[in-house]
Amino acid sequence: MSTSASPSTQHGTGPAATRRPGPVLVVSDVDSTFIRDEVIELFARHAGVEEQVAKVTAAAMRGELDFTQSLHARVKALAGLPVEVIHDVRREVRLTEGAAEFVAGLAAGGHTLALVSGGFEEVVTPLAARMGIGHVVANRFEVADGRFTGRVAGRVVDRRVKAATLVELAQRLGIPVENTVAVGDGANDLDMLSVAGTGIAFCAKPVLREAADIVIDRPDLRLVLDALAIDRP
């Protein structure tokens, strides 16, 4: 059963209490979790196809569409965009409330934060670098002659890749699975929450809420620290 953590209820302490002493690995989704936006929709706005892309994104996050197929369809709609638009989108991205304190609180406690995104490293990597986050996995746009080709370069970061990344990173850092935490909002995060020691649904779709150990309904990342009994900075 999930534990609700909303403005009107107390945070659950069960999952936090079961972890071993020592550092924690928190793996967070990015779009609509660490940031308030869906990055591909910001690109779609510049391409004049925002409404079309947003409908596909919403269906994929509800688990109604295969994520990989939906991503390819959405990226195809961006074909022809000049790469310069990347700089515009980076400026448009809005951090979720409490993001800076979330990062600082984890760092102060000796914990590790990784961003694992079905979005795009062209935006996520510079954002992570600016905030001192050293672990990032995300998709990449294929570019030719200074324009988006409408294809994804390399593998797609889908729900299986997200889960595998959490497991591999925990092993590399020597952190037991009991001390891993996954934070996400949509169906693409289901496998990640399943393999983590603690799964947190953050302002999430129903399909993810049902699978989570902790549910946070207010878009404030400081509530994740509270739910994990990690001190705020």
Q: Report the catalytic residues.
A: 29, 31
Based on the number of CB atoms within 10 Å of its own CB, is 207 exposed (0-12), middle (13-18) or buried (19 or more)?
Answer: middle
Q: Which single residue is written with the structure tokens 């919403």?
A: 58
- Alpha-carbon distance of 212 to 190, in angstroms, equals 9
Token representation of residue 46:
């510049």
Contacts of 81 (CB under 8 A, 6+ apart): 43, 46, 47, 147, 148
Q: CB within 8 A of 187, min separation 6: which ones?
A: 60, 61, 62, 63, 67, 159, 205, 207, 208
Identify the DSSP state of 177. G
Contact of 204 with 63, CB cutoff 8 Å: no
71-94 in b/e burial notation, b at 16+ Cβ within 10 A? bebbbebbeebeeebbeebbeebe
